[in-house]
Amino acid sequence: MVGPDYVRPSAPMTPAFKETEGWKIAEPRDHLPRGAWWEIFGDPELNALQAQLDPANQNLRIAEARLREARAAIRFNRAALFPTLSASAGLSAVRPSGNQPFRSQSTNLGSSGDLLASIDLSYEVDLWGRIHRTVAAARHEATATAADLETARLSLHAELAMDYFELRAVDAQQQLLDETVQAFEAALRLTTTRFQGGAAPKSDVAQAQTQLDTTRAQTTDVTVQRAQLEHAIAILLGRPPADFGLPPRPLDTRPPSIPVGLPSQLLERRPDIAAAERRVAEANEQIGIAKAAYYPALVLNASVGFEGSTFGNLLNASSLVWAVGASLTQTIFDGGRRRATSDAARAGYDATVAAYRQTTLTAFQQVEDNVAALRILEEEARQQRQAVQSAQQSLQLFTIRYRGGVDNYLQVITAQTVTLSNQRTEIDILGRRMTASVLLVKALGGGWDVTDLPKP
Residue type, 163: D
The pLDDT of residue 198 is above 90: no
Residue 5 lies in a domain: no
The pLDDT of residue 116 is above 90: no
pLDDT at position 28 is: 44
> Strand 84-94 vs strand 112-125: parallel, antiparallel, or unpaired?
antiparallel
The pLDDT of residue 215 is above 80: yes
Domain that holds residue 284: 18-92+126-288+340-452
For residues 81 and 274, is the Cβ–Cβ distance under 8 A? no
Residue 225 lies in a domain: yes
Q: Residue 136: is it exposed, middle or buried by C-beta count within 10 angstroms (0-12/13-18/19+)?
A: buried
The pLDDT of residue 104 is above 90: no
- Residue 100 pLDDT level (bands cut at 50, 70, 90): low
pLDDT digits (tens, 9 = 90+) for 14-72: 888 887 776 655 444 456 677 899 999 999 999 999 999 999 999 999 999 999 999 99
User: Could you tell me which residues come within 8 angstroms of residue 368 by beta carbon, excluding any fewer than 6 positions away?
Assistant: 17, 18, 19
Name the 3-class secondary structure at 362. Answer: helix
Nearest-angstrom CA–CA distance, 52 and 37: 15
Nearest-angstrom CA–CA distance, 174 and 196: 33
User: What's the CA dihedral at 419, 420, 426, 430 to 10 degrees?
Assistant: 160
The pLDDT of residue 98 is above 70: no
Nearest-angstrom CA–CA distance, 213 and 191: 15
Quote the mean pLDDT of the chain. 90
Residue 234 lies in a domain: yes
Please tell me which residue, 343 or 200, carries the higher pLDDT value.
343
Residue 310 lies in a domain: no
Share of the chain above pLDDT 70, in %: 94
For residues 130 and 289, is the Cβ–Cβ distance under 8 A? yes
* Lowest model confidence (mean pLDDT) among 35-39, 82-86, 345-349: 35-39
Residue 152 lies in a domain: yes
Closest C-alpha to 211, from 240, 188, 245, 190: 188
pLDDT at position 200 is: 86
**From residue 247, how far is each of 167, 219, 244 by CA, in Å?**
10, 17, 10
pLDDT digits (tens, 9 = 90+) for 129-141: 999 999 999 999 9
- Total domains in the fold of the chain: 1
- Residue 216 pLDDT level (bands cut at 50, 70, 90): very high
Considering the entire predicted model, what is its pTM? 0.88
Q: What is the mean pLDDT of residues 355-359?
A: 96
Residue 71 lies in a domain: yes
Closest C-alpha to 163, from 60, 241, 215, 221: 241
DSSP string, 220-257: HHHHHHHHHHHHHHHHHTT--GGG-----------PPP
pLDDT at position 15 is: 84
Residue 111 lies in a domain: no
What pairs with residue 192 in β-bridges? none
**Which CATH number characterizes residue 379's domain?**
1.20.1600.10
Residue 322 lies in a domain: no
Nearest-angstrom CA–CA distance, 390 and 149: 50
pLDDT at position 111 is: 67
What stretches of 21-57 show up as alpha helix (H) in DSSP?
Answer: 44-56
